[in-house]
Structures are given as C-alpha cells and as structure tokens.
Structure 1
Amino acid sequence: MSLKNKLARMKSHLNVKEGKEKPKSRPPVKSIPHLDEWENFNTTVYKGTEGFCLIREVKYPLDYKHGLYTFKELAHVIEGWNATDYHHPLSSKGYSTNELFFFDTETTGLSTGAGTTIFLLGYARVERDGVVFRQHVLPDQSGEIAFYESFLQEVNYEALVTYNGKSFDWPMVKTRHTLLREHLPKLPSFGHFDLLHAARRLWKRKLESVKLVNVEKEILNIERYDDIPGFLAPMIYFDYVETKKTEGLMKVMQHNEYDILSLITLYIHLSKHLLQNVDRTSTESYEVARWYEALGEKERAVRQYEEVIDGEDEEAEKALFALGIQAKREKEWEKSRGYFGRIKRTRNLIMQAQIELAKLYEHQFKDIKDATFHAEKAYSYIDETTNERLKQELEKRLKRLRKKVAL
C-alpha cells in the first residue's frame, strides 16, 4: 500500500482536515440505560449543546444534624465573623450564608494533568429554607462539554469551600476547562476557603492523618456506614462506563455527598474555634493563637495564649514563652521577665527561657550577676540533642558575662 493511501486511512484517527468542511449536525443524545434507576435516585438528564450529563439534586432541612451541628449553625458563625474587626483567611465577613459554595470532585486519578478526568462535580449551598445539594455526573467522555456547561450554568457563588481544593479540585477544573474553553463560558473568580490547612494546624498532632474521613470520626462525631473508600472511585467509574450498572457509581455519589455535607460541619466547627465559641483543648487554643500571631493579629493572639498559660501541660509553657517574646517586642520588660520566669517543667523551653532572662538582665536591667546566673542555668540544660549553633552562642555569652563579673 502506498504512503498516500496509508495516510488517507489514518486521517480519521489523526483528525486531519482537508479544506473546509460543512458543519455537522448535532448528534442525537444517546439512550440512557437504567433511566428509571437514575430517576429514583433524584437524578435528571441534562441535554447540552454537545452530548448530555446527569444532574442529581437533594434538599436537606436546616435543622438536619450532620455530626456535631445542624446546618442552621452556619448562619450563626457567619454572623459571628461579620461582627469581628480582625483578619483571618477563614473569615466569611462580608458574605451571606448562601454565598459559600461547598465543593468537591471525584476524578479518574490523583494527577492534576490533562490525562485525569473529573467525572463528578458535587456542591452544596445553605439557603434560607434548606441546604441544596447538587451533583453533575459524566456518564461517558462524549458528554464532557455538557457536563461543564451544566455546572457553569447552575453555579453562582462568591467563595469556594473545599478540602485540599486549592491544590487539587479547582486546578483540575481549570485544566479540563482549558481543554474545552472554546465551548464553555469563562470560569468566574471567587474567594477560596481550603479547610485542609486549618485541620492540619489544629489537629495534626492529635490525628494519625488529617484525611477528611479521620477528621469526621475523631473531631466532628461523624461515623460513615456502608461507605466506599475514596481510592476505589476511579475503578468503580470505569466499571460503570463499561457496564452501565448504576449501583457502584451511586455509592461513589453518596461518598461525595458525605464529603460535602461534612465540609459544612467542619467549616462551622473551625469557625467556632477561631471565634472562641466552642470548648477547646489546650493544644487547639495554642494552635489558634499561633495562627493569629502568624497573621499579625497580635492582640487576638495574646488573648488566645492567655487562655492556655494556667494549665499544667507543655502548651501552657509554650504559650508563656510566646507571651514573653511578645512582651519583649513591646518593650514591656517586667511583664516579659514574669512570663519567662514561670517556665519550669519543659526542658528545652526552660533553657530557652533562661537565655531570654539572661538577655533581659544584661541589656535591660543592667544586672550582670543575675544575667550570668541565668546563662549558667541555661547551659546546665544542654544535652546531645541541643543545636550546636545554640550551644556555641550560649558558651560565647557565658564567657563574656563571666569576664564582666570578674571586672
């Protein structure tokens, strides 16, 4: 066979066009296997400009309790945020309840590259009369344009609330949108609250893993029953594409539904922690304080640290040390000395506090004898785990102070 004939046979696979082609008529929507099962699952068919997808909608009452809270609590925490005068990345100040868009996806893989496809887009909004939960499902690849078209037509939001959505879910949406952008509306801009970062800050030492299912069970009092593991979702989807049997894919949809409802509960719980509207462990209070300090919200951080300092655990001493440093920055020397002087239980913190006391006595109180005493006490806590640079700096400080005392 000649090269010309070979190329002619391959044109359909290569999508090569010669000259202008007449526009093709829109292909008819395929028949949908097991349509009655989909309809019984609150699912309807969306017919797009190209192909079709499935849309499922469920409504929950506001007094529905998912874990620790009913969904009506969201309005209370947003009211709390709107009463604040400080900044936080999870603050919904300026938003109304229905402007938060709780969002999660299911995909054919864990990569955000073009080879991975989203087959399920799920989201919920808390309206005045209930929680509207919706899912867009891609029955097969021929319906991808309709899939995103239906999603972008329905979506009207101000702030996305996700769990690792900044790193995965939304980059995936953007990747697929880029490939299909000639056929779709533009993606809107929005704020983004990614709750994974907050969960990691508050509970990374308490939990073996901060996967959402662990946070649900250990923190939010949510227990899943008859749930499929998330890692099975791609295999179940491929099985559906091949067999059209609905049971497995519906299980994946229920898994996604649980994820999104849990995002609402988690946002409420995190907000209550940050607004001081819930009982907290000393570790949680300390981590909240550290977060506010990192954001430059000094007054807020100080109040949070002060909640912890009367305890008997390591967090109390960490909080005392943080308050001592903050007072030192504000040139409140006596207050700083008082905080450092209360640290007496945690070896490394005692050493650090004694170093800070040596500095205060030398430079602020001009008491070389007491400065030397605290430097020597700090040195007594050095062991094989001590940072070498810190050890050398302390030795240098001691040598200088002893020379001054000898004068």
Structure 2
Amino acid sequence: MSDALERLRRLAGLRPQKSRTELTYIPLDEEGEPRPARSPAVQGRLEELAPGQEVETAVGCCYAATTAFPLEEERGRERLANALEARPATLALFHPEFRLDRDMRFTDAVFLDTETTGLGGAGVYAFMVGVGTFERWEGALHRADGAAGSKGVRATPTHFVVRQFFMRHPGEEAALLAALAELLETKQWMVTFNGRSFDLPLLRSRYRQNLAFLPVHCHRASRLEEGQPHLDLLPPARRLWRRRLQSCRLIHLEQRVLGVERGEEDVPGALIPALYLDYLRTGQAGEMRRVFYHNREDIVSMAALASHLVQVYASELTQPDELAAEDLFSLALCHESQNATSLAERAYRLALERAATDALRNEIFARWSALLKRQARWKEAAELWERWFTTVKGADVTPFIELAKYHEWQTRDLEQAEMWAAWGLHTVEALPAHRRLPGQRADLEHRLRRIQNKRKNLRIV
C-alpha cells in the first residue's frame, strides 16, 4: 500500500512523504535554505531573556520560564493577596454555567492563557501556555505546592507563580502538552479570560492531534474538558462594565478598572503570531522577550481582575466610592436578575445619584420603576415616575403614560389620569415625526378618549 502511495505521489509530482516518526523540524534562512543548528550561545539567549529551564517529560523537552510574585505586590488597585479571601462562588449565582462550588477558592485554581500562531483552524498551535497558581514558593519548577498535601493540610500560599511553557519549535508540542497536563492535575479548576471560546477548545484540539505521542495519562487533560469547573472572566466583566467601557478586552480592563499601565516592552496581541514565526525562521529570541512579558502580564492581571470582580458582585454597596454610575446600573440589573431586590434598589439609587447624562437617567428610572411596578408597589412607583419627568428634561413620555395608567386603574382618580394622558399626548405631539415611536400617538389618543368617556359617563350617572 505504501509503495502504491509513493508511486501516486511521484506521478502527481509530489515529494515522498515521511512517516510521522521521521518528521523533523528544520529551521530555514531567508532564502529557504536549511539553517545550521543553533549554537549553545543562541539557545542560552532565550534563558537570559526569559529566565527558566528546560522541562523533561516522557515525550521530550520544552522550555518553561518561571516568575514568582509576592502576594503583597499590588496590581493597580488590587493586591494579589486579596484573592485569598475572595469567594469565587459569588459569581456562580450570576453564571451557573461556570459550575463553581461554594467551597472553591482561588488557591485551588489554575489561571491559564495561551499565545498562538493564529486565531483558529486546524493548523493553529498554542506555542506558549502560561499558567498561574497561588502556592508556597520554594523554587519548584512546575509542581504546585499549594495543593493539599498527603494529610489534607493546605500550605499557606506566599506567592503567585507564573510558569510559561514554551515550544522552541513545533517538535516540542507534545512535551509542552505533557508538562501542562501534569501541572493541571495539581489543581481543581480553571480560570481564563475568554477561555471558553478560544483557549480551551484550542488546547483540547491540540491534545487530540497529539494522542499518538502523549503518554496515556496525558490524553485527556481532564481539567480542560467541557463540564469541568471553569471561571471565564469575560462574561461577568462584560455584564458589569460594557456600559461604561468601549471595549472589555483584558488590556482595557487593566487600564480602566484596575488602574494598571503596562511597560513599553509589551507587544500588541495581534503581532504575536508573526513574532513567533520570525523566531522560528531566524532563531533570534530577542522579540520573544516581549511575548513572554505580554503573556505573564495577562495572567497576573487575571488574578487581580478575578478578585476585583468577586468583590464588586459580593458588595453590599455600603462603601461604593469606586463604582461609576454605569457600573452601579449594571450591578443593579445583575441583582434584579437574582431577585435580590434590596441590593438592586440600593444600586439603582446610587446609580441615579451619580448619573451624568439624561440618557442614563432615563434607563435607570425605567428599570427601577418597572421593578416596583412588578411588585405592585404602586405608590413608590408613582413617586418615582413623578421624580422622573421632573428630573430629566426631555421627551421621554413613559412617566406620563405610567401615571395615567396608575390613576386610571389603581387610584381610580380619572381627573388625574386624564391630566397625565393629555400631558403625555402633548409631549409626543411636540416631538419631530422621526423621534416618535410607531403607534405611540394613536395609543395616547385612544387612552385619553377612553378616560374622558369614563368621566362623562360618571357625570351622567
């Protein structure tokens, strides 16, 4: 069969194909010619730029750069140590798909981020996988000593340790995946940023592609499987900050939420695939220092952001000084979705006090009054509707319509109902035609006629 295949290849003008066991990686120079093997001096340069060491696995070696951050270190407005007190299960109330148990802690989690050769497709590699863990740091390369010991006693973490597994050429992919699988088994769950959509599906694909080369115990990398506990920070971040921020990319959240500015050595994520391909082509590791920095910053920021998110979602809003009006409004909607009415109303009230635009005030009044209306708290809702049109000078007709309904059906004060309906109709008629909602004027005219007819019939009786 193989002879026939090779004959077909020759007929088609194709070069003979090597078997999988024969495949080797040969770096090429600018002219496409095989490049001589890199000298020890060039290989050592990577170690100087990204301190670490070679990791040996059953299927070969890869490189791992290791950086330990003391927990006292501040990440903008957050200290890394804050994560030790945070309760991730707070976010499970709003995102049950994360499967977070109430006893889970960030000390049991792996913070994971990948750098890849592209954005998708079968040929995309994760050439770098960075993982961060809270642990007692004693210089171990990739064993997370913060995990429970043989007697079930947790060692108190002293550092947040980032290990960046890196394949110096595609032939080291199996070794990288084996080293990663070993580390993942030391922890109980996963934290990523957009990992549900990108990082984890990609890694699952790469493990499947490398089944023939990996030890059996590395085939599954169970922490990466669907259905495992996994906190993806992007959905709760979007839910909370998308009204205020134009973008919820991690680097923007660093700047606008955590107050972190990266150093000049950072590199835009869009350039990273090209930098890695250039490294493979030339063997020069200079620009890879920036890629290691970028990945490391992502992971440390994820730890700080996770802690901050939990604090905001768990806040009783007794000291909400740092929350903007838009964030408070988003938080109110989150609490309302969980039927936490008192917290929702507290957030609505604070958001209204801090709102700087009529557009935002209209949104807050509309949602808050709708909450009161659903609970049949009619008097409070009416007071809010009256406050609405006296606070926001504009053309929103909603408070007039709601007050007309309230007095027609709840207080049975038809004189008041007629006044509010007429006021609403006058407001709509003053609007340019392009700003009127379809059918709005006709509905108000119909409502006003009905109320007037009711009053006329009462006078006849």
- Report the TM-score range of the alignment, normalised by the length of the smaller protein: 0.7 to 0.9
The residue matched to 2:94 in structure 1 has which SS? coil
The answer (yes or no) to whether the contact 1:103–1:122 under 8 Å persists in 2 is yes
Structure 1 pair 219/92, CA: closer, same or farther in 2 (3 Å)?
farther
**Separation of aligned partners in 2, 1:381 and 1:267:** 47
Answer yes or no: is 1:121 the counterpart of 2:167.
Answer: no
| Aligned counterpart for 2:435 among listed residues 385, 404, 407 | 385
What is the match of residue 333 of structure 2?
290
**Separation of aligned partners in 2, 1:108 and 1:150:** 20
What is the match of residue 396 of structure 1?
446
What is the match of residue 159 of structure 2?
130
The answer (yes or no) to whether the contact 1:293–1:301 under 8 Å persists in 2 is yes
Please, which runs of 5 or more residues in structure 1 have no aligned partner? Answer: 17-23
Structure 1 pair 255/180, CA: closer, same or farther in 2 (3 Å)?
same
The answer (yes or no) to whether the contact 1:289–1:300 under 8 Å persists in 2 is yes
TM-score, normalising length: structure 1: 0.85
Structure 1 pair 406/122, CA: closer, same or farther in 2 (3 Å)?
same
What is the match of residue 197 of structure 1?
235
What is the match of residue 37 of structure 1?
45
The residue matched to 1:245 in structure 2 has which SS? coil
The residue matched to 1:136 in structure 2 has which SS? strand
**Separation of aligned partners in 2, 1:337 and 1:284:** 26
Report Cα offsets for 1:70-108 as digits up to 9, x if no partner. 211112333xx67x7992338884212312322211111
Structure 1 pair 25/15, CA: closer, same or farther in 2 (3 Å)?
closer
What is the match of residue 219 of structure 1?
257
**Separation of aligned partners in 1, 2:92 and 2:444:** 39
- Residue 249 (structure 1) shift: 1.4
**Separation of aligned partners in 2, 1:328 and 1:124:** 47
What is the match of residue 339 of structure 1?
384
The within-5 A match list for 1:87-98 is 87-89=93-95, 93-98=102-107
**Separation of aligned partners in 2, 1:378 and 1:278:** 36
The within-5 A match list for 1:134-149 is 134-149=163-178
TM-score, normalising length: structure 2: 0.76
The answer (yes or no) to whether the contact 1:56–1:135 under 8 Å persists in 2 is yes
Q: How many residues align?
A: 394
Report Cα offsets for 1:282-334 as digits up to 9, x if no partner. 22111111122234433432232233344564445543432322222112221
Letter in 1 for 2:245: L
What is the match of residue 6 of structure 1?
7
**Separation of aligned partners in 1, 2:45 and 2:18:** 38
Which moves more between the two structures, 188-197 or 229-238?
Answer: 188-197
What is the match of residue 21 of structure 1?
none
**Separation of aligned partners in 2, 1:221 and 1:153:** 35
What is the match of residue 163 of structure 1?
193
Please, which runs of 5 or more residues in structure 2 have no aligned partner? Answer: 26-36, 136-156
The answer (yes or no) to whether the contact 2:86–2:106 under 8 Å persists in 1 is no
The answer (yes or no) to whether the contact 2:407–2:417 under 8 Å persists in 1 is yes
Q: Which structure has the higher relative contact order (CA within 8 Å, separation 6+)? A: 2
Letter in 1 for 2:17: H
What is the match of residue 209 of structure 2?
179
The residue matched to 2:388 in structure 1 has which SS? coil
The answer (yes or no) to whether the contact 2:6–2:16 under 8 Å persists in 1 is no
- Residue 236 (structure 1) shift: 0.5
Identity %: 25
**Separation of aligned partners in 2, 1:302 and 1:317:** 15
| Aligned counterpart for 2:307 among listed residues 268, 276, 284 | 268
The residue matched to 1:44 in structure 2 has which SS? strand
- Residue 381 (structure 1) shift: 2.9
**Separation of aligned partners in 2, 1:45 and 1:322:** 57
